[in-house]
Amino acid sequence: MSIRSLFAVALFALFSALTLSDASAQEFKAGSIVINQPWSRATVSSAKVGAGYMTITNTGKEADRLTGGTLPQAGRVEIHEMRIVDNVMKMRPLAKGLEIKPGETVTLKPGGYHVMFMQLKEPFKEGETLKGDLTFEKAGTVAVEYKVGTIAAKKPPTM
């Protein structure tokens, strides 16, 4: 194979990889807030709670606050924090929501900050997309779509 052919194949592979990575990344915007790759885990049929994860970036000059949201499959949506205190995992709702400072990116992930879906009406199934809203103090309400991964997923599913 000639160097020119190898170069063409390499360029094609690079272009394909970039295209695929862009296609799998989801971005939603509201004012100066940018939400990337909202996702959730599949739940067992008897589960009454689920969680949502994502990264949120504030591109503005003022702090904003994630205060809640809605999801048709849940009775209510809360913003929670999970952390280890004295070797014990503790989870608590954030009564005032989650602040995102100007220029800051906050990652909601398993074992940390997350959106808590309470009073589930139906289980989340791997491969489905859940449509809901997130509410911010200043940016308002933004529609998002959560991609559902496996029940033990530790990162967003690739779909």
- The domains located in the chain, with CATH, are 27-149 (2.60.40.1890)
Q: Summarize pLDDT for 76-99 with one digit per residue, the tens.
A: 999 999 988 899 999 999 999 999
Is the model's pLDDT at 9 over the cut of 60?
no
CA pair distance 72, 27, nearest whole angstrom: 21
Task: For residue 80, give every residue at least 6 positions away whose Cβ sits within 8 Å of its Cβ, in sequence order, or none.
Answer: 51, 91, 92, 93, 94, 113, 114, 115, 116
Is the model's pLDDT at 22 over the cut of 50?
no
CA pair distance 83, 5, nearest whole angstrom: 53
Burial class of residue 122, CB neighbours in 10 A (0-12, 13-18, 19+): exposed
- For the chain, the C-alpha Rg in angstroms (whole number) is 18
Is the model's pLDDT at 104 over the cut of 50?
yes
Q: If you average pLDDT over every residue of the chain, what do you get?
A: 88
Which phi and psi angles does 47 have, rounded to 5°?
-65, 140
DSSP 76: E
CA pair distance 76, 108, nearest whole angstrom: 18
Is the model's pLDDT at 6 over the cut of 60?
no
Q: Summarize pLDDT for 128-146 with one digit per residue, the tens.
A: 999 999 999 999 999 999 9
Q: Summarize pLDDT for 112-122 with one digit per residue, the tens.
A: 999 999 999 99
Question: Both tokens of residue 86?
Answer: 């004295």
Residue with more model confidence, 54 or 85: 54
